Amino acid sequence: MRYYCPNCWQDFWEENFRVCPKCGYNIKDYEAKDYVDKLIMALQHRAGEVRHWIIMILVQRKEKRALPYLEKLSKETKDLSLARAAEEAVKKIREE
Please tell me what DSSP assigns to residue 61: T
Instruction: Read off the pTM.
Output: 0.84
The helix or strand, by DSSP H or E, that contains position 4, with its residue range, turns out to be: strand 3-4
How far is 3 from 8, CA to CA, in rounded Å?
Answer: 12
Answer positive or negative: Cα dihedral of 80, 87, 77, 23: negative
| CATH architecture assigned to 34-96 | Alpha Horseshoe (1.25)
Non-local (6+) Cβ contacts of 96 within 8 A are: 62
Predicted confidence (pLDDT) per residue in 5-42, tens digit: 888 888 887 767 788 888 999 888 888 999 999 999 99
Does residue 14 contact residue 20 with C-beta atoms inside 8 Å?
Answer: no
Predicted confidence (pLDDT) per residue in 42-92, tens digit: 999 888 899 999 999 999 999 999 999 999 999 999 999 999 999 999 999
> What residue ranges do the domains of the chain occupy?
1-32, 34-96
